Amino acid sequence: MVKLTIDGKAVEVEAGSTILDAAKKVGINIPTLCHMEMKDMCIENKPAGCRICVVEVEGRRNLAPSCATAVSEGMVVKTNTIRVLNARRVVMELILSDHPADCLVCAKNGNCDLQSMAQRLDVTEIRYAGVQSTYREDFSPSIIRDMDKCIMCRRCETMCNEVQTVGALSGVNRGFEAVVAPAFEQDLEKSVCTYCGQCVAVCPTGALTEVNNTNRVIAALANPKKKVVVQVAPAVRAALGEEFGLEPGTLVTGKMVAALRNLGFDSVFDTDFAADLTIMEEGTELLDRLTKHLNGEKTHLPILTSCCPAWVNFFEKQFPEFKDIPSTARSPQQMFGSIAKTYYADKIGVDRSDLIVVSIMPCLAKKYECQRDEFKVEGNPDVDFALTTRELGGLIKRANIDFNSLADEDFDKPLGESTGAGVIFGVTGGVIEAAVRTAYEVYTKKTLKSVDFTELRGMEGIRHATVDFDGLELNIGIAHGLGNARELLESIRRGENKFHAIEIMSCPGGCIGGGGQPWHHGKQDVLKARAKAIYAEDVGKTIRKSHENPYIIKLYEEFLGQPMSDKAHHLLHTNYFDREVKFEVKK
């Protein structure tokens, strides 16, 4: 333990703690801007670049960045001397002097860390105005880069390179022209970017934002010739409340359904239904491969989940040699779209071109996924628009709906009925737990005593567990965050694989921490609360196993036949491509 004094207050902290941590302990909140730390998830960004958190340390010539300066015995720190206040203010003015002042029309207005810091530091004029650095805008199917708003906090780089190990973003150019960009300053679309959106999730300003589709959805809803249905991903209901000032982890399923209905959607459906369908297909595929494996036939094990579109992008771009290992099952979003535009469209007698499918997703990669050619029929996409949780929040506000006073409503039938297994798709470990619930019963022909496989849950980046399938030991691996996924893939590459099945979700915490969720501002407790809410919804469901969903059973009876039937293959499965990014260096 180390003893020191901060602003005259004695404090004792563990050796290795930073001044920032120590100050917090005695109720001193030093302002920070570039710094971000989510300890349990091993996410830390402290380049000490913004210099907002500087403090005076006795005996030191210059001011010290409190986020990156370790405490030492007897240290005397002052956080609010006139020297510090002046320096902090000038630095803030400098940062603002190189930032567009279009806050009122910025996508991050009201959610911008820079804006709130300017307020907090009471900056009312910029004495050091001058030219601003400019950079071209870059539009991709999911993410917009407006680097004029970049403050070089490097959080996106940390997420992209260290946490996700995607390596799409890094600092380029020098001095005033320094900016974060893909290799060779290519467009994001041409880079190794997976659209996981974690850069957007942590960007403190409006430099990285999602492609906003709300106006197109409003136009569709206003078109009398179109039937517009909506599906909502499991993680949305555990986070949407935050957009309306509710505590993180508040479940708002019923209000969300009511709001969507108020918005004018003809039917409000649940992606959880499609998640149950995914389990039927993916679970069957797992058992199929497992049986082949046990019979000594050639097959691909481990089977990898394929629900997460950023993960699909990741292995297509960085591990193309593994493109035959993941399950061929489409993601729930795409299964839903496919069924909606065939089975459901037939049922209600509407042509697929007059049926608009909107999805509400916690995710930015879903925007890209629904535009993939494989998921179009004669140019008509199975899912027309993917909105994020945040966009839905904005839509509800614009429609003058008082969200918090809405009475709970239920999803529509038939594509709105789901089980607890479908719900837990939204959190790390959930997809594989859902699969195990079904696969166990199908394989052993016995009923599970308990459906709660707590050994598969948690926030550790890489987890493994063994599930006893009545004598057959099934080894399961779980990774969330693409960096952890890479580690697992590399162990497979080295031939160290011991797993039968692996679940991978790109975002830390799973979809609850997706790039399209309400801003968590670097607080990991927010993610934990959302996970808790998801499991609460699961427990609250009467049916908690996908294969017991009566509407799923009916769908197979009326339309698909068996899981992995030809029709199911055609509508619910896909294949993957080698999309390795190669650069030609022109000489």
Partner 1 sequence: MADYKFHLLVCGGTGCHASNSDVLAENLKAELAEHKLSEEVQVVSTGCFGFCEKGPIVKVVPDNTFYTQVAPDDARDIVEEHVIKGRKVERLLYVDPNKKEQIGDSKHMDFYKKQLRIALRNCGFINPENIDEAIARDSYAAMAKVLSEMTPKDVIQVIKESGLRGRGGGGFPTGLKWEIAANNEADQKYVVCNADEGDPGAFMDRSILEGDPHTVLEAMAICGYSMGADKGVIYIRAEYPLAIHRLKVALKQAREYGLLGTNIMDTGFNHDIELRYGAGAFVCGEETALIRSMEGKRGEPTSKPPFPAQEGFNKKPTNVNNVETFANIPPIILKGSDWFSSIGSEKSKGTKVFALAGKINNVGLIEVPMGTTLREVIYEIGGGIKDGKKFKAVQTGGPSGGCLTEKHLDTPIDFDNLLAVGSMMGSGGMIVMDEDDCMVSVAKFFLEFTVEESCGKCAPCRIGNKRLHELLVKITEGKATKKDIRNMRNLCHVIKDTSLCGLGQTSPNPVLSTLENFYDEYMEHVENHNCPAGQCKALMRYYVLPDKCIGCGACARACPVGAISGERKKEHVIDQHLCIKCGACLEKCKFDSIIVK
| Active-site residue set | 282, 285, 307, 327, 366, 369, 374, 511
90 near partner 1, rule: CB under 8 A? yes
Least separation in angstroms between residue 139's CB and partner 1 is 24
Alpha helices in 98-223 (DSSP H): 113-120, 155-157, 198-202, 214-222
Q: Out of 98, 276, 316, 391, point to the residue binding partner 1 (CB under 8 A).
A: 98
Measured CA to CA, the distance from residue 484 to residue 319 in angstroms comes to 14
- The least CB distance from residue 67 to partner 1, in Å, is 9
| Displacement of CA 446 from its chain's centroid (Å) | 35
Indicate whether 127 belongs to the interface with partner 1 (CB under 8 A).
yes
15 binds partner 1, rule: CB under 8 A: no
Cα separation values, 405 from 181, 237, 251, Å: 44, 16, 14
Q: Which stretch binds partner 1 (CB under 8 A): 89-97, 100-108, 459-467, 555-563?
A: 89-97
Question: CB under 8 A: which stretch of 58-66, 181-189, 275-283, 432-440 binds partner 1?
Answer: 58-66
What is the closest distance, in whole angstroms, from the C-beta atom of residue 159 to partner 1 in the complex? 17
Interface residue with partner 1, options 11, 87, 396, 434 (CB under 8 A) = 87
Is the CB of 50 or the CB of 431 nearer to partner 1? Answer: 50
The answer to the question of residue 54 lying near partner 1 (CB under 8 A) is yes
Smallest separation (angstroms) from partner 1 to the CB of 58: 15
- Strand partners for 467: 474
Q: Residues in the chain, how many? A: 587
**Strand positions, DSSP E, 43-169:** 43-45, 54-57, 64-65, 76-78, 138-139, 143-145
Which two three-digit tokens encode residue 487? 């580690």
Per-residue x/- marks for partner 1, 495-534, CB under 8 A? Answer: ----------------------------------------
Cα 281 off chain centre by: 24
Stretch that binds partner 1, among 126-134, 370-378, 403-411, 476-484 (CB under 8 A): 126-134
Compose the 223-262 pattern: x for residues touching partner 1 by CB under 8 A, - for all others: ----------------------------------------
Rounded Cα distance between 310 and 255, Å, is 29
* Minimum CB distance to partner 1, residue 147 (Å): 12
Query: C-beta of 127: minimal distance to partner 1 in Å?
Result: 5
Q: How far is CA 107 from CA 58, 117, 139, 210, in A?
A: 42, 17, 15, 9
d(CA 505, CA 308) in angstroms, rounded, equals 6
Nearer to partner 1, 65 or 481 (CB): 65
- Answer yes or no whether residue 100 interacts with partner 1 by CB under 8 A: no
Single-letter amino acid code for the residue at 129: A
Calculate ∠ Cα 176-177-178, nearest 5°: 95
- Order of all β-strands in the sheet with 2-6: 9-13, 2-6, 76-78, 54-57, 64-65
How far is the C-alpha of 262 from the C-alpha of 97, rounded, in Å?
43
Q: Does 95 bind partner 1 (CB under 8 A)?
A: yes
CB of 93 to partner 1, least distance (A): 9
Query: Which residues ranging from 136 to 175 are in contact with partner 1 (CB under 8 A)?
Result: 151-152, 170-175
Give the interface segment with partner 1, choosing from 90-98, 228-236, 361-369, 575-583 (CB under 8 A).
90-98
CB of 69 to partner 1, least distance (A): 8
Residue 331's identity, in one-letter code, is S
Q: Is 274 in the site for partner 1 (CB under 8 A)?
A: no
Compute the distance between CA of residue 112 and CA of residue 107 in angstroms, rounded to an integer. Answer: 9
Which residue(s) pair with 5 in the sheet?
A: 10, 76
Nearer to partner 1 by Cβ, of 103 and 172: the residue is 172
Pick from 2, 26, 42, 70: which binds partner 1 (CB under 8 A)? Answer: 70
| Nearer of residues 51 and 366 to partner 1, judged by Cβ | 51
The interface region with partner 1, picked from 57-65, 305-313, 315-323, 511-519 by CB under 8 A, is 57-65
Of 20, 96, 117, 12, residue with least CA distance to 64: 20
Choice from 32, 45, 66, 69 touching partner 1 (CB under 8 A): 69
Of 19-27, 66-74, 102-110, 339-347, which segment contacts partner 1 by CB under 8 A? 66-74
3-state secondary structure of 540: helix
Angle between helices 482-493 and 309-318 (to 10 degrees): 40
Binding flag, residue 570, partner 1 (CB under 8 A): no
Angle between the 430-444 and 271-294 helix axes, to the nearest 10 degrees?
A: 50
Query: For residues 153 and 325, which CB has a smaller minimum distance to partner 1 in the complex?
Result: 153
- Please write down the HEC assignment for all residues of 373-428: HHHEECCEECCCEEEEHHHHHHHHHHCCCCHHHCCCCCCCCCCCCCCHHHHHHHCC
Q: Among residues 2, 26, 42, 68, which is the contact residue for partner 1, using CB under 8 A? A: 68
Q: Can you give the binding site for partner 1, defined by CB under 8 A? A: 47-52, 54, 62-63, 65, 68-70, 83, 86-87, 90-91, 94-95, 97-98, 127-128, 130-131, 151-152, 170-178
